[in-house]
Amino acid sequence: MTSVDDFRIKSHELLMDLDAATTEMMQLISSRSVSGPIWEEAVKRQHDAYVHWNTFINSRDGSDPPGGPPIA
């Protein structure tokens, strides 16, 4: 990445993915669906989104996290 704006934009994209994954989990909790394959997928998605965002934020060079979510 070459600028602070690039870093901010990428961070925001990853944070939006994390927010969407967390929202999905909260909806499952509200509907009392906290077990089974749908729950496990939601937990994995939220975990992975957090790891990707955290890795990016803590990277020294602002590079994309390996295996990160595809950016549209």
- Model pTM score: 0.76
**Rounded Cα–Cα distance for residues 24 and 6 (Å):** 27
Tens of each residue's pLDDT in the chain, 72 residues: 568 888 899 999 999 999 999 999 999 999 999 999 999 999 999 999 999 999 999 986 656 555 555 444
Dist. CA 7–CA 1, nearest whole Å? 7
Q: 28 vs 24, 36, 53, 63, CA distance in Å?
A: 6, 11, 22, 33
